[in-house]
């Protein structure tokens, strides 16, 4: 009967819906501890740190609120201003250099060269090292008493100099050079993955039309690598903001404060000078910087997802 069929069908849907709701409830209950950890450990400590930046806390936290006094002191400190300038220099040169070098390496490997796997491993290997190891390696290489300078002078080039780590004007560029050596391989892998995803018909059509290879890359291929480029820039920018161990291992912020960066300034004030209020004010500024970096990327991702849903 039609009525009985409809009743049985609705009853079946109800029975099928119960396991689905049960699975959803189980998944929610499983994630509850994780959300509690996120809210308490991450969000909670973040809010607590911001709150401390408005107090006069020194060695131990206090509830003596002083408004924005810590921020005034922060931006009146010459060492903090130098660290911000160094962060800009390092960030611009590091990101641009990694993108250029990594893209050129990816294009070279995309030509199906012999021993591609070996070259890819060699170029990516530095990224497997920690920044501490990278800093120590380059500190030795640029040490005027032990490294490349001494070796070249022993070979007869007595005027050769490569002492960037002890030169106030070049110390921050020594940090840039060591960072490029380590992270260019990451960009190479990301860009190579994008290059391998380009439709082969584009290459065949371009060759039939007689378009030079360099023009194919510049005008056709590279514009299609937007997602790979955005991922690389975001990862590199996050690395720039939290740069600490590379500077400590390579120059320790010196000579003087020539290669000081915000992360080292924060750690020195937190543990060395025991100035909790100033350290948390500096960390809050860096948090805002990170959010400013992530916000455009997150917005672009959401807009791309909306367009994709609209297309479907």
User: And the tokens for 172?
Assistant: 């921050």
The pLDDT score that the predictor gives to residue 72 is: 94
pLDDT at 2: 52
pTM exceeding 0.85: no
Decide: 248 and 261 in contact? Cβ < 8 Å: no
pLDDT digits (tens, 9 = 90+) for 193-249: 888 877 777 777 777 777 787 787 887 788 888 888 888 988 898 888 888 999 999
Q: What is the pLDDT of residues 253-291, one digit of tens each?
A: 888 889 999 999 999 998 888 899 999 999 999 888 888
306 confidence band (pLDDT: 50, 70, 90): confident
Q: Higher pLDDT residue, 18 or 77?
A: 77
Q: What is the pLDDT of residue 20?
A: 76
Q: Average pLDDT for residues 102-113, to the nearest whole number?
A: 85
pLDDT of residue 185: 92
Three-point CA angle 96, 102, 108, nearest 5°: 135
Tell me, what DSSP letter sits at residue 79?
Answer: H
Q: Which pLDDT does position 15 carry in this prediction? A: 46
Distance from the first to the final alpha carbon of the chain: 40
State the pLDDT at residue 209: 75
Percent over 70 (pLDDT), the chain: 93
Is the per-residue pLDDT at 5 higher than 80? no
What average pLDDT does the structure give for the chain?
84
Does pLDDT of 79 surpass 80?
Answer: yes
DSSP 271-309: IIS--HHHHHHHHHHHHHHHHHHHHHHHHHHHHHHHHHH
């Amino acid at each position: 009967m039609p009525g009985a069929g409809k009743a049985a069908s609705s009853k079946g849907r109800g029975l099928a819906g119960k396991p689905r709701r049960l699975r959803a409830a189980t998944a929610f209950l499983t994630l509850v501890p994780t959300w509690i950890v996120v809210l308490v450990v991450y969000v909670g400590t973040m809010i607590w740190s911001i709150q401390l930046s408005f107090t006069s806390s020194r060695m131990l936290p206090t509830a003596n609120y002083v408004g924005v006094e810590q921020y005034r002191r922060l931006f009146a400190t010459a060492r903090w201003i130098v660290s911000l300038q160094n962060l800009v220099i390092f960030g611009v040169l590091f990101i641009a250099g990694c993108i250029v070098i990594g893209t050129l390496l990816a294009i070279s490997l995309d030509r199906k060269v012999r021993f591609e796997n070996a070259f890819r491993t060699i170029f990516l290997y530095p990224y497997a090292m920690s920044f501490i190891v990278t800093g120590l390696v380059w500190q030795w290489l640029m040490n005027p008493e032990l490294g490349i300078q001494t070796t070249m002078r022993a070979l007869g080039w007595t005027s050769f100099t490569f002492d960037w780590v002890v030169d106030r004007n070049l110390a921050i560029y020594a940090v840039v050079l060591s960072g490029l050596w380590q992270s260019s391989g990451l960009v190479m892998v990301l860009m190579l993955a994008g290059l391998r995803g380009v439709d082969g018909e584009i290459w065949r059509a371009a060759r039939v039309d007689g378009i030079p290879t360099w023009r194919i890359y510049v005008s056709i291929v590279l514009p299609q690598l937007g997602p790979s480029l955005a991922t690389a820039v975001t990862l590199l920018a996050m690395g720039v903001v939290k740069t600490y161990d590379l500077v400590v291992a390579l120059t320790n912020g010196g000579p003087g404060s020539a290669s000081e960066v915000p992360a080292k300034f924060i750690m020195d004030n937190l543990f060395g000078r025991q100035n909790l209020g100033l350290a948390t004010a500096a960390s809050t500024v860096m948090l805002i910087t990170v959010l400013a970096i992530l916000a455009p990327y997150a917005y672009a991702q959401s807009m791309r997802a909306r367009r994709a849903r609209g297309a479907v």
